[in-house]
């Protein structure tokens, strides 16, 4: 095992189901210790990717390496990789403690020792004392943490998490996000994380891969993908974005390319406000105002297209007002050709 090899390496991996290319010629390196997020619309191949890493699926083409060793033909139970399933997949016929100790029992760890380890794994996820509970008696958040402890107790080198927070409600989700993040930081394990919640991906991950139709369309840090989307798809999928046509961009100080402009970069000013040199502007009429608490979302119809701007709450524009939209030219991010 080389310390230089990536935790997970995909080399031109494809996986087909009938005519569906669930994963399509994906190459990807995930570095040791990364918190890596897979983001993409439903059906884009995220789960299939995780399953390929875990060994539940085998690539039809290409190769997967885990810490420099080939995973070809290696069954799941011989991979030092563990998974937290979306629906947790806790064994209903075992107690919480037995669930957590399961992997150790399979390895042949003695009863006393594995109970000890299960106990401390549960303590780590703040469920000390839950050992003898039935899994049916747990809330969603608690189950999620048991699933986490069950995976972590085996000391995996890579932990896979498939939308582990999807079933939780907002407050609980925020809390679990923090716990997960700090666990990952303290354990230094490589996390590969699937989510359909961009906020989650952006705030938790070191790097994010954006999937579309089985392909990776962009890999980068959260700010890379948010601020420098390389394609319309990414710009649109990650957060909300105004996508400017090449003509519009060109006439407003950008390049003649499809261009992304984030709503929060646009300021709303009175019709005749001064436009700083570094900024572009467009005039239009307010067509919709949507209160969102921290911000208000304002839709302005310009001559060419409708732009969305978000402003701090309390801006006193009204529907029908004629306004000027002003944004730094630097905020316009040109994207790949036909993207």
Ligand X SMILES: Nc1ncnc2c1ncn2[C@@H]1O[C@H](COP(=O)(O)OP(=O)(O)OP(=O)(O)O)[C@@H](O)[C@H]1O
Query: Can residue 272 be called a binding residue for a copy of itself (CB under 8 A)?
Result: no
Query: Can residue 22 be called a binding residue for ligand X (CB under 6 A)?
Result: yes
Sheet holding 333-334, edge to edge: 242-244, 259-261, 333-334
Query: Can residue 108 be called a binding residue for a copy of itself (CB under 8 A)?
Result: no
Q: Which of 59, 103, 222, 229 binds a copy of itself (CB under 8 A)?
A: 222
Strand residue runs (E) in 91-233: 158-162, 190-195, 207-212, 215-220
Residue 69's alpha-carbon distances to 18, 35, 124, in angstroms, are: 29, 21, 30
Query: Can residue 46 be called a binding residue for ligand X (CB under 6 A)?
Result: yes
Site for ligand X in 174-203 (CB under 6 A): 196
Residue with smaller CB distance to a copy of itself, 76 or 166:
166
Query: Can residue 47 be called a binding residue for Mg ion (CB under 5 A)?
Result: yes
Residue 212's alpha-carbon distances to 38, 39, 40, 223, 299, in angstroms, are: 11, 9, 6, 19, 28
Binds 40: which of ligand X, another protein, a copy of itself, none (CB < 5-8 Å by kind): ligand X
Q: Which of 10, 36, 88, 130 binds another protein (CB under 8 A)?
A: 88
Number of residues that bind Mg ion (CB under 5 A): 1
Query: Can residue 42 be called a binding residue for ligand X (CB under 6 A)?
Result: yes
Binds 43: which of ligand X, a copy of itself, another protein, none (CB < 5-8 Å by kind): ligand X
Piece of the chain touching another protein by CB under 8 A; list 133-141, 243-251, 256-264, 320-328: 133-141
Binds 20: which of ligand X, Mg ion, a copy of itself, none (CB < 5-8 Å by kind): ligand X
Contact string 110-149 vs a copy of itself (x = CB under 8 A):
----------------------------------------
Residue 40's alpha-carbon distances to 43, 64, 198, 222, 259, in angstroms, are: 8, 21, 9, 14, 20
CA dist., res. 306 & res. 171, Å (int): 34
Query: Can residue 168 be called a binding residue for another protein (CB under 8 A)?
Result: no
Closest separation between CB of residue 51 and another protein, Å?
Answer: 7
Query: Can residue 20 be called a binding residue for ligand X (CB under 6 A)?
Result: yes
In which region does residue 188 sit, left (phi positive, over 0), alpha (psi from -120 to 50) or beta (all else)? left
Residue 307's alpha-carbon distances to 158, 227, 299, 304, 325, in angstroms, are: 43, 17, 6, 9, 9
Query: Can residue 107 be called a binding residue for another protein (CB under 8 A)?
Result: yes
Query: Can residue 75 be called a binding residue for another protein (CB under 8 A)?
Result: yes
Sheet holding 295-302, edge to edge: 267-270, 322-328, 279-291, 295-302, 306-312
In which region does residue 8 sit, left (phi positive, over 0), alpha (psi from -120 to 50) or beta (all else)? beta
What is the helix, strand, coil percentage profile of the chain, to 5? Answer: 30, 30, 35
Cα–chain center distance at 283:
36
Piece of the chain touching ligand X by CB under 6 A; list 36-44, 231-239, 284-292, 320-328: 36-44
Would you tell me which residues interact with ligand X (CB under 6 A)?
A: 17, 20, 22, 40, 42-48, 196
Would you tell me which residues interact with a copy of itself (CB under 8 A)?
A: 41-42, 169-171, 174, 196-199, 202-203, 222-223, 226-227, 237-240, 262-264, 290-295, 297, 310, 312-313
Would you tell me which residues interact with another protein (CB under 8 A)?
A: 1, 7, 17, 51, 54-58, 66-71, 73-83, 85, 87-93, 102-103, 105-107, 134-136, 150-151, 154-155, 157-158
């Amino acid at each position: 095992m080389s310390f230089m090899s990536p935790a997970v390496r995909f080399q031109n991996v494809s996986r087909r189901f009938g005519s569906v290319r669930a994963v399509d010629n994906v190459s990807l390196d995930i570095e040791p210790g990364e918190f890596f997020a897979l983001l993409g619309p439903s059906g884009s191949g995220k789960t299939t990717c995780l399953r390929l890493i875990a060994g539940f699926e085998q690539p039809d083409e290409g190769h997967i390496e885990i810490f420099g060793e080939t995973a070809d033909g290696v069954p799941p139970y011989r991979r030092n990789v563990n998974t937290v399933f979306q629906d947790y997949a806790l064994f209903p016929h075992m107690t919480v403690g037995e669930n957590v100790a399961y992997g150790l029992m399979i390895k042949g760890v003695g009863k006393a020792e594995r109970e000890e380890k299960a106990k401390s794994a549960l303590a780590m996820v703040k469920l000390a004392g839950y050992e003898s509970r039935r899994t049916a008696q747990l809330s969603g958040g608690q189950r999620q943490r048991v699933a986490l402890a069950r995976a972590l107790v085996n000391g995996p080198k890579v932990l896979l998490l498939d939308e582990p927070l999807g079933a939780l409600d907002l407050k609980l989700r925020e809390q679990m996000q923090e716990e997960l993040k700090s666990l990952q930081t303290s354990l230094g394990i490589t996390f590969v994380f699937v989510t359909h919640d961009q906020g989650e991906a952006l705030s938790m991950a070191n790097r994010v891969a954006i999937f579309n139709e089985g392909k990776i369309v962009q890999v980068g840090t959260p700010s890379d993908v948010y601020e420098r989307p390389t394609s319309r798809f990414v710009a649109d999928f990650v957060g909300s974005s105004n996508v400017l046509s090449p003509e519009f961009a060109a006439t407003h100080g950008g390049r003649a390319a499809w261009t992304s402009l984030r709503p929060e970069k646009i300021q709303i000013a009175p019709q005749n406000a001064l436009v700083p040199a570094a900024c572009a502007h467009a005039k239009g009429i307010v067509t919709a105002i949507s209160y969102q608490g921290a911000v208000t979302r304002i839709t302005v119809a310009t001559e060419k297209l409708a732009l969305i701007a978000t402003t701090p709450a309390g801006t006193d524009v009204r529907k029908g007002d004629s306004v000027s939209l002003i944004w730094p030219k630097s905020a316009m991010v040109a994207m790949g050709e036909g993207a």
